[in-house]
Amino acid sequence: MKMINFKIIIALTFIVNITSCKAQEYPLNSTYMNLPDNSYLKDINNELVQYIGTYKANFDNKEITLFITKENHKFFDLKVKKYYQDVLSIRYIVKNSSGIILQNTQNMNFQPNQLRFAIYSTKTRPTQNTIIFYYGGTNCSVGWGDIFLKKINDTQISWEYRPDDIILDSSKCPSGTDINIYLPETKDLIFTKQ
């Protein structure tokens, strides 16, 4: 009887330990490569919340609408490192001057680790009121690069998009694929909260 009680206590202790384990939390700006796998970079100081909302701007005869939301505990598997992070996610709609939609990611269902069309925050610079995002680009990874959003005031953010170069050939990108970059490739574009 004592042996059965001992086994039950051991089993219950094991179950409690497993269910109460969670990833170790670190501040949002920690360098994930220096942390153990499955660490959690948490928005402890609520740096991300002030950017949430819908913003609009006009550039080069196009209307751009950004939908910025917060995702808590988003999992990233970079092959060399696995971690969780609180992030901002940007979805967008780009329309031409006639109101025709050129690109729309607002209702896309992103798969885990999908980079195509995805825009996620990677780092904050609180002293500069800036958040840095990684953009995975569109078809064939065209337009991948970095986006910088700077908080100007409660209703405005400044946009800077720095696309990186990519070499395309028919083995990487089938002919007839839309390889236009519709997001505004510019610096200091002001978006206004709606």
What does the pLDDT look like over 66-123, one tens digit per residue?
999 999 999 999 889 999 999 999 999 999 999 999 999 999 888 777 778 899 999 9
Give, in degrees to the nearest 5, the angle at Cα 50 between 99 and 123: 95
Pairwise CA distance, residues 78 & 122, whole Å: 13
Question: Residues 27-59: pLDDT tens digits?
Answer: 998 888 889 999 999 999 999 999 999 999 999
Number of CB atoms found within 10 A of residue 80's CB: 7
Q: How far is CA 14 from the centre of its chain?
A: 36
pTM of the prediction?
0.84
pLDDT tens for 125-156 read 988 999 999 999 998 889 999 999 999 999 99
pLDDT at 44: 94
pLDDT for res 15: 47
Structure tokens at 133: 């995002």
Q: Are 26 and 41 in contact (CB under 8 A)?
A: yes
Residue type, 35: L
CA 101 from centre of chain: 23
pLDDT of residue 101: 97
CA atoms within 13 A on the CB side of 18: 6
pLDDT at 174: 87
**Beta strands per DSSP E along 35-164:** 39-42, 53-59, 62-77, 82-96, 101-104, 119-125, 130-135, 145-151, 156-163
> Which pLDDT belongs to residue 12?
47
User: For position 173, what pLDDT does the model report?
Assistant: 87
Can you tell me whether residue 65 is helix, strand or coil?
strand
